[in-house]
Amino acid sequence: MIKCKEAKKSNFKDKVVIITGASSGIGRTTALEFAREGAKTVLVSRPADKLGGVADEIRCFNPNVLVVPTDVSDAGQVHQMVKTVLSEFGRIDVLFNNAGSSYVGRVEDENFIENVKKIMDVDYFGTVYTTKEVLPVMQKQASGHIMNMSSVVGKKAFPHFGGYSSAMHAISAFTDSLRQELSGSEINVSIIHPTLTQTSLLEHVRPEDMPPPFRGMTPISVELVAKAVVNGVYYNQARIIVPFQPRLLLLADSISPHIGDLIVKLLSNKVFSRLFGTYRGKLYHEYKY
């Protein structure tokens, strides 16, 4: 039985918000957060049944929700999704490109290239396809906000994460370029770089195969990331890094990659991670997703 929560504020009242990867994790929680702010939410993902469950949660307090099952790695499906949204709501105010997959493995692995291609199709090209479809709509409206999901590893790569880090870096570069191209228009562009988060993204990975820095790290909550996304759009923050500790890593890495590499290596140590503030007594595989 779904337990309904009342709507909160109305900062996004009647704004049309598309969330890709909305069936679970950060996407689901962000959709609920936008809906509580009064938004008309569009839930986009591949599993229609899961999207239906999220939609039922939202309808408890906000009837304005649309489910559009879509594989964002398919440009044709993305085109049709945007047409459906415009037919239903007539406009698009916010796009949150959140859909993604993951892969853990060394560059030397035999299936590295094959797996990286799959990640790029969903994570990177999914972001590009959806942005390219939505952008003309926002330009015609002379308003809108595009928020892209990356990761801390989209700024500093981690070992065993060469493929995923490559996709996240690509999204970072795409977003940075797009923001500058749209400077002076009424369309804002943001990117968020969360650290390891309590989602099912890596549930298929054995603890011993996790990227070494993650082995001594407590994942942050999806609620923290979702609130950062919504606030980032509301306050038009160009770049968001959550929580604050990764900023120290990125600062150290900008001074010297060797210092950055050392911090990444030390993060696998629970004692260092506790002192650094990234280990709080529970590891990724100890959560149920």
What pTM did the predictor assign?
0.95
**pLDDT for res 251:** 97
CA gyration radius for the chain?
Answer: 19
**pLDDT for res 10:** 85
164 is catalytic: yes
Q: Which domains does the chain have, with CATH numbers?
A: 16-286 (3.40.50.720)
Rounded CA-CA distance 230/284 in Å is 25
Phi, psi of 127 (to 5 degrees): -65, -45
One digit per residue, the tens of pLDDT, for the chain of length 289 reads 455 655 567 899 999 999 999 999 999 999 999 999 999 999 999 989 999 999 999 999 999 999 999 999 999 999 999 999 999 999 999 999 999 999 999 999 999 999 999 999 999 999 999 999 999 999 999 999 999 999 999 999 999 999 999 999 999 999 999 999 999 999 999 999 999 999 998 988 888 888 899 999 999 999 999 999 999 999 999 999 999 999 999 999 999 999 999 999 999 999 999 999 999 999 998 887 7
**pLDDT for res 158:** 96
Which residue in 164, 235, 279, 289 is the catalytic one? 164
**pLDDT for res 122:** 97
Exposed/middle/buried for residue 103 (C-beta within 10 Å: 0-12, 13-18, 19+): buried
Rounded CA-CA distance 139/82 in Å is 14
**pLDDT for res 1:** 44
Rounded CA-CA distance 45/119 in Å is 15
